[in-house]
Structure 1
Amino acid sequence: MQSPTSRYPFLDQIRGFAVFLMIIFHACYDLTLFGFMNADFQNNLFWWSFPRVIVFLFLISVGLGLALSHTPKIKWNSFWKRFLKISSLAALISISTFFLFPDRWIYFGTLHCIALTSLMALPFRNWPWVSLVVAALLIIPSAFFSWDLPWISLPHKSMDYIPAFPWLGVVLIGLFAWHKNVHKWPAIWPKKLALLTTMGRYSLWIYLLHQPIIYLLVFGLNQLLSKH
């Protein structure tokens, strides 16, 4: 969800594909919430995996964009400006969901994770193999136990809980991928998938706005049908 000064279409496509999947997932989530679907997001492997694929794509792009924006040296002014922006939006999401959905409010979601892991990953930007090793040390153990971090785990379920560990590992994989010039790969079907590229360029704002819009549409549909 970054805006590097130089655009790389393949990187925008990764973000755009993540946004596209996210819209589909949240539409299904809201349809299930109002009884139009019966998706089991906790126990069904497909629905359990779906949001994790989305987060994986976002955090890979965060790692790629982080290296792209801060090479050959860290641009601290732009970093802190972006960090403050992402953190403020994350806080806004926490506050709004606390009042709207107190039983499942977002206390450490995707934006919270992006802000913190960006800060934690930055020192690794010139150490690709170290990044890959640390990523493996974070990700592989998570198959056997839960990190249950960042030091916050409230007893209620959250609509979006993305802990810094092990997800920092995915950002570090993105840093490694940058050193392998993955961001320079040619765009896939650039004309046919131009919409994905455009969505990737505005991924942050689509991320913020799509769910309220989908929720209101499904809520309106539910209200309309309940009157008949």
Structure 2
Amino acid sequence: MTAPSPAGPWERPVGRVRLFDAVRGFSVVSMVLFHLCYDLVFIEGVDVAWFAPPLQDVWRASISWTFLLVSGWMCSFSHDNLTRSLRYLAVALAIFAATSLAAVDDPVSFGIIFCIGAATLVDALLERAHLEPRGLPCAAALLALFLLTLGVPSRELGVGPWEVALPAGWYAHPGLAWLGLPSPGFVSGDYYPLVPFALMYGVGVAVGRWFAPRGYPRRVLAARCAPLEWVGRHALPIYVVHQPLLLAALALLGV
């Protein structure tokens, strides 16, 4: 497929594509509201009847899948994905240490920041070997694999009537939770192992690299929403501090 003409309705971005900041910002706001409901129900014991499956599961997925997709997409904009990955992994380690010491809820082991960091590291290594995922067919294949392996952490493979149980022996080793094979005693307050969630990240990588040489529609480049853009540009620090601030606010309000 040939790239659209530079004189056409598409063009390569100069600087940030603000729509991505806005999408990330919207997901951050959604995440804060989700965790507010979570804290009210599971930590403070408040009855919020509607905060239950399936709405709870769909809401959670809409947030995390968007984070993974956009983070993968950003690989095509980053000049140093290796450094980017190490920054995420350092934050993930700090979150694990803080949640272990605070003991308010289960420690966050291999949460979404870990997943983004590890997936970015894998992509950085693949990029150096010229094996990085790219293109829409690759993205479609990764999306199919993501859906097929979505149940792997719960010992299932497949979709709907085609699900099969995976061998219990695969989950016996306590050191494979990061991969998606948690042992029976494993617990985490936020769990996003590489299988399946790095595959959703890979979808973003492949799509982003398809767009990179072609550019984006001018309408996409012109899209603006300043408040959400600001939130999106500060997504990582907001992620780090939002739960302590929510818990402190609930304590001050006497909930």
TM-score bracket relative to the smaller structure: 0.7 to 0.9
1:140 has 2:128 as partner = no
2:86 touches 2:121 (CA, 8 Å); kept in 1? Answer: no
> How well do the aligned residues superpose, as a CA RMSD in angstroms?
3.0
Cα gap change, 1:80/1:120 in structure 2, threshold over 3 Å: closer, same or farther? closer
Give runs of aligned pairs for residues 1-228 of structure 1, distance below 5 A: 6-32=15-41, 33-38=43-48, 44-69=53-78, 75=79, 78-101=80-103, 104-122=106-124, 123=126, 124-126=132-134, 128-142=136-150, 145=156, 149=177, 150=179, 153=182, 155-178=185-208, 179-180=210-211, 184-185=216-217, 186-187=219-220, 190=223, 193-222=225-254
- Secondary structure of 1:6's counterpart equals coil
Could you report, residue by residue, the CA deviation over 1:121-177 in whole angstroms, capped at 9, with x for unpaired residues? 342244553343133223224258268751562525422111111111211211232
CA distance in 1, matches of 2:101, 2:191: 17
1:30 touches 1:215 (CA, 8 Å); kept in 2? Answer: yes
Pair member with larger Rg: 2
2:26 touches 2:228 (CA, 8 Å); kept in 1? Answer: yes
Report the alpha carbon displacement of residue 36 of structure 1 after superposing the two structures with TM. Answer: 2.8
Cα gap change, 1:201/1:102 in structure 2, threshold over 3 Å: closer, same or farther? closer
Count of matched residue positions in the alignment of Structure 1 and Structure 2: 211
Unaligned runs of 5+ in 1: 70-74
- Secondary structure of 1:53's counterpart equals helix
Calculate the TM-score normalised by the size of structure 1. Answer: 0.79
1:139 touches 1:169 (CA, 8 Å); kept in 2? Answer: no
Q: Which residue of 2 aligns with 1:72?
A: none
Q: Which residue of 1 aligns with 2:4?
A: none
Report the alpha carbon displacement of residue 81 of structure 1 after superposing the two structures with TM. Answer: 2.2
Cα gap change, 1:67/1:128 in structure 2, threshold over 3 Å: closer, same or farther? farther
Report the alpha carbon displacement of residue 83 of structure 1 after superposing the two structures with TM. Answer: 1.9
Unaligned runs of 5+ in 2: 1-13, 127-131, 158-165, 172-176
Q: Percent identity?
A: 24
Cα gap change, 1:197/1:111 in structure 2, threshold over 3 Å: closer, same or farther? same
Cα gap change, 1:187/1:36 in structure 2, threshold over 3 Å: closer, same or farther? farther
Q: Counterpart amino acid of 2:233?
A: R
Greater helix proportion: 1
Cα gap change, 1:44/1:134 in structure 2, threshold over 3 Å: closer, same or farther? closer
CA distance in 1, matches of 2:136, 2:123: 11
Cα gap change, 1:39/1:158 in structure 2, threshold over 3 Å: closer, same or farther? farther
CA distance in 1, matches of 2:105, 2:117: 24
| Deviant stretches of 4+, over 3 Å | 37-41, 125-128, 146-149, 180-191
Q: Name which of structure 1's ranges 118-127 and 212-221 shifts more when overlaid on structure 2.
A: 118-127
Report the alpha carbon displacement of residue 209 of structure 1 after superposing the two structures with TM. Answer: 1.4
